[in-house]
Amino acid sequence: MRFLTPLSAVLLMLLVAACSTQRVEIIHIDTVIYPSDEFEDVDEMIANPFFSVSQLPFEAPNFDVIRDEDFLPAFEEAMNQQIQEIEAITNSAAEPTFENTLVAMEESGQLMTRVHRVFFNMTSANTNETIQQIQAEIAPRLAAHSDDIYLNSALFERVDSLYEIRDELDLDDESRQLLTETHRDFVRAGARLSDEEQARMRDINERISSLTTEFQEKLLAMTRERAVVVDDEALLDGLSPDRIAAAREAAEERGHEGNYLLSITNTTRQPILTSLNNRDLRQRVWEASAYRGIGEDDGIDTRPIILELAELRAERSELLGYPNYATYALEPQTAQNPGRVLEMLEGLIPPVIANTEQEAEQIEEMMREDGIENDLRPWDWEYYAEKVRQAKYDIDDDEVRPYFELNRVLEDGVFYTMERLYGITFEERYDLPVYHPDVRVFDVFDEDGEQLGLFYGDFFERDSKRGGAWMNSFVVQSHLLDQKPVVVNVLNISRPAEGEPALISFDNVTTLFHEMGHAVHGLFSDVTYPSLAGTSVPRDFVEFPSTFEEDWAIHPEVLENYAIHHETGEQIPSDLLEKIIAAREFNQGFDTHEYMGATMVDMEWHLLGSDGVPDDVIAHEEAALEKYNLDHEAVPPRYRSTYFAHIFSGGYEANYYAYIWSEILAADAFAYMEERGGLTRENGDHYRQTILSRGGSRDAMDLYLDFRGQEPDVDHLLRRRGLEPAE
């Protein structure tokens, strides 16, 4: 069922920068919904759109009729209905069978699925004060609801009895996987704890749920709080006219008439630093980003939340018999334990540091040529790295961006690649309601003309959206429930000025391909049980399909198809194309260094015991970086603790390593495809059949072995990042 996992994953798993790794589905969609005994207002039930199945294609949410005030009563009734359904399973006089227990659990929660999938997309993609208030209220209640199910001793007895005789049940592989993982989820939730321990577990879960919600809300508020207002256009020297116009419009929207507003993205580094010629303004922008969440100038302070979360997570793990949260969190992942993760990461650190130092030398040399004798600082790196890149590869970002217009990248790049690999096509439609005017909707068709599902794209940044990029599902595929997928990709591309084309950076190009990797993972799902569908795979496997798709963005055939000048219609010159591909390896020491820094900060927070949580967040972070020799003054971690959304509100706690772990698989898989002919339907179909269609129906590494025929080779990752393979 995986409907409400430990730590209130109904909340957490729908807030990630990418997809769920726990099974959080509560799915059974009937055309008639009967109110629970507690529900008294029948008129309200009729008026609430969540109380009936959407009649739109594939049960897509009807955003034309969904109101903010519908969410809370829908959640309340959904919890009541879910408990009644669970009680019916638990109190059955019949002996437990796979059908009357596991399948019945899969079919439960018909209302909960509809409301939580819409609501938690809104909390991330288009929130407001009302939604935030509802989230703050409902999060601890959902945690308690989760515990009411997973700590139900009679229900666990039924699951446990079936698990004990699993070899005698004649189950197919997918059904056996469902039973195994459901049983594991109950045990990891505390089903075997004493009554006193379970009571403490409930308290911890509710508090963690409230804290992660609070952290998310503060992050959104910090985006507004830390935006940099510039009162002199001369200070924006280096920005293109369209970017200056966009900054002027952004300032006007915030009430800063005649000024310019530079928004802060979710990472420590800020993309705009590559272009700003004024060093003082670069420093302002960088510090606005890096000093978020520490209460500077009476601003927002997230440090108390971090310390309490670290302690509660450690205590929770200790209750379950684990020495720390990292050991608990990694047990169901492909990595299995922190030792394997640290061994892999520490093996990468020496070549990363060596490359970082080489890059630093080139950057410092460029600074001296520019008359800057100061030490290299974080706000210098991106700016002078861009100058080195231009000198080394003769590439200017302002020269490149006109060839990357959003619509063309999407249609002639991303969609083109999906058709070449998998035979699928996307056709935009304009008749379905959306939750914001920016959102676009596409029918997705297989080669034989059968519709696979719906794809929503929400590409532009706004104040109501959290930073980063991710994929969510409004509906997941399931043969049991006869449902097809409805997925959404959410990005944060800078909005162009009114009437101007959306010219995007190559980083944004790569992100479009990355998120489509998550989308097709959901769209190609071909499993029976919703809990095992699509992206319901381990956290350190879920980023593999998305990272794999990134490399097609620089495939010569693909680039030539979408890299077209938005004004002249001319294809990107071959020499510029070659430079873009060659420049891909540039600055990879910095990129990997800052990622490794954030990863080690994450691990060190979650290797703590409950009695070892420090008092000083910043000191602990600095000690973690120093411990692994990643404390480079000019290369801070990609996320500092105070705004590390992945691990303090996004479900990636002790799992941020998953990106590079998955990248090992992605790099190896892409190299394997290149050996077999590259961008071909044969390759795409094989990958679709062995990986993308299987969801979590089998062990993740077994799926990879089915696809590849052998374990992945880490040297492909080092080559992908331009780092020398280890001896």
Same domain, 142 and 257: no
Long-range contacts (CB closer than 8 Å, 24 or more residues apart) made by 472-475: 472/14, 472/19, 472/117, 472/120, 472/121, 472/124, 472/125, 473/117, 473/522, 473/534, 473/535, 474/60, 474/61, 474/117, 474/118, 474/121, 475/58, 475/59, 475/60, 475/117
In this structure, is residue 329 part of a structural domain? no
Give the C-alpha separation, 598 to 621, whole Å.
Answer: 9
In this structure, is residue 456 part of a structural domain? no
pLDDT tens-digit profile of 662-672? 999 999 999 99
Paired sense of beta strands 440-445 and 425-429, if any = antiparallel
pLDDT tens-digit profile of 88-140? 999 999 999 999 999 999 999 989 999 999 999 999 999 999 999 999 999 99
Same domain, 141 and 249: no
Q: Which of 178, 197, 217 is the last residue of a domain?
A: 217
How many structural domains compose the chain?
Answer: 2
CATH number (domain holding residue 32): 1.10.1370.40
How deeply is 231 buried, as exposed, middle or buried, from its count of CB atoms within 10 A (0-12, 13-18, 19+)? exposed
Q: Which of 188, 217, 246 is the last residue of a domain?
A: 217
In this structure, is residue 95 part of a structural domain? yes
Same domain, 133 and 18: yes
Same domain, 83 and 123: yes
In this structure, is residue 42 part of a structural domain? yes
Give the C-alpha separation, 40 to 358, whole Å.
Answer: 69
pTM of the model: 0.87
Q: Retrieve residue 281's tokens.
A: 């303004």
Same domain, 206 and 234: no
Q: Retrieve residue 362's tokens.
A: 């080139």
Same domain, 244 and 135: no
Which pLDDT band holds residue 284 (cuts at 50, 70, 90)? very high
In this structure, is residue 108 part of a structural domain? yes
Which pLDDT band holds residue 398 (cuts at 50, 70, 90)? confident
Q: Identify the CA nearest to 261 among candidates 48, 70, 514, 463.
A: 463
At residue 520's C-alpha, the angle toward residues 345 and 493, to 5°, is 75
Same domain, 150 and 253: no
Q: Retrieve residue 18's tokens.
A: 């990418």
Same domain, 207 and 231: no
How deeply is 534 buried, as exposed, middle or buried, from its count of CB atoms within 10 A (0-12, 13-18, 19+)? buried
Q: What is the pLDDT of residue 19?
A: 33
Structural domain range at position 261: 226-290
Same domain, 148 and 244: no
Same domain, 196 and 269: no
pLDDT tens-digit profile of 564-610? 999 999 998 888 888 888 887 788 899 999 999 999 999 999 999 99
Residue given tokens 């590849």 in the structure block: 708
In this structure, is residue 61 part of a structural domain? yes
Q: Which of 290, 323, 338 is the last residue of a domain?
A: 290
Same domain, 186 and 98: yes
DSSP 8-state code for residue 14: T
249 belongs to the catalytic site: no
Give the C-alpha separation, 694 to 66, whole Å.
Answer: 33
In this structure, is residue 233 part of a structural domain? yes
In this structure, is residue 384 part of a structural domain? no
Same domain, 200 and 232: no
Choice among 77, 515, 543, 621 that is catalytic? 515
Name residue 7's amino acid: L
Residue 653 has pLDDT above 90, yes or no: yes
Which pLDDT band holds residue 516 (cuts at 50, 70, 90)? very high
Q: Three-state SS for 475?
A: strand
